[in-house]
Amino acid sequence: MLALGVVILLSYLIGSIPSSIWVGRLVKGVDIRNHGSGNAGATNTFRLLGWRPGVAVLTIDFFKGFVSSLWISQLAYQIGAGPVSLFPFWDVDPFLRIVCGVVAVIGHMFPLYSNFDGGKGMATAAGMLCGIEPVSVAITFGVFLVVMLASRYVSLASLVAAFIYPLMLVMLRYGFGWTIDGSILIFGAIVGIGIIIKHRGNISRLLQGTENQVRSFKPAVGWLNKDKKQESE
């Protein structure tokens, strides 16, 4: 249990790294949560700051989940007597990877370093899941790109991907006979549900037709001066 507790703590601290907030302060000297959609994630960074800061945030967020699931989880084997699954009918290694990845996603959504006000967790979840089972993630990412390019709504593409991913795991396991541990199915579904819940504001705006679309990868023009003017009024 000591080993499990240590890797969970490390995964949470890594997931808590507020990349968009730090990049926003570095590039423009602003807290990105006070501008645009108010979300501390890669999409808002792309929209406000442009593709270079957006790619930087996306990469960091992806690797938070990837590193936690693929590498941090393995530290448990070097601590004390080693990890123990809380559920004996699941294999320890995939269970450990998925738990560390999920905790990193939770850290991204509720980061310790920024008053527990974080992003929606899509990129971190993708990194976590890629570190566990990359084929299903690749298929899901393909669906994400198709929906995003067709609709220009990143939020809609994220919602569809979050819904599709657990179905891909089920299809690979029961339709094609892949060896996928039950813990991956359960926690994959939990992550998908968590991301959908985190997007509830986007769902409301999509239904109302007021959700922002991605029209280019250039920084939004005049957003900083506009927001400052509104704050002063």
Q: How far apart are CA 36 and CA 175, in angstroms?
A: 43
> Which letter, b or e, does each residue of 73-95 get, where b requires 16 or more Cβ atoms within 10 Å of its Cβ?
bebbeeeeeebebeeeebbbbbb
Estimate the crossing angle of helix 19-27 against helix 51-70, to 10 degrees: 150
Q: Which helix (H) or strand (E) holds 16?
A: none
Q: How far apart are CA 208 and CA 35, in angstroms?
A: 21
Q: How far apart are CA 152 and CA 167, in angstroms?
A: 24
Mean pLDDT of 182-194: 81
pLDDT in tens, 14-60: 999 999 999 999 988 888 888 877 888 888 888 788 888 889 999 99
Closest by alpha carbon to 96, among 195, 189, 3? Answer: 3
* Phi-psi map region of 85: left, alpha, beta (phi>0 left; psi -120 to 50 alpha): beta
Instruction: Kindly report the pTM of this predicted structure.
Output: 0.75
> Average per-residue pLDDT in the chain?
83
Closest by alpha carbon to 132, among 172, 82, 88? Answer: 172
The letter for the amino acid at 99 is: V
Which one is predicted more confidently, 231 or 112?
112
DSSP 175: I
* Phi-psi map region of 128: left, alpha, beta (phi>0 left; psi -120 to 50 alpha): alpha
Q: How far apart are CA 227 and CA 44, in angstroms?
A: 14
DSSP 173: I
DSSP reduced 3-state for 79: coil
pLDDT in tens, 53-91: 889 999 999 999 999 999 998 888 877 555 555 555 567
Q: How far apart are CA 33 and CA 30, in angstroms?
A: 9
What's residue 220's pLDDT? 63
DSSP 229: H
The two tokens of residue 14 are: 């890594």
Is it the case that residue 229 has pLDDT exceeding 60? Answer: no
Q: Which helix (H) or strand (E) holds 145?
A: helix 134-151
Q: How far from the centroid of its chain's Cα atoms is residue 178's Cα?
A: 25
pLDDT in tens, 88-106: 556 778 878 888 988 999 9
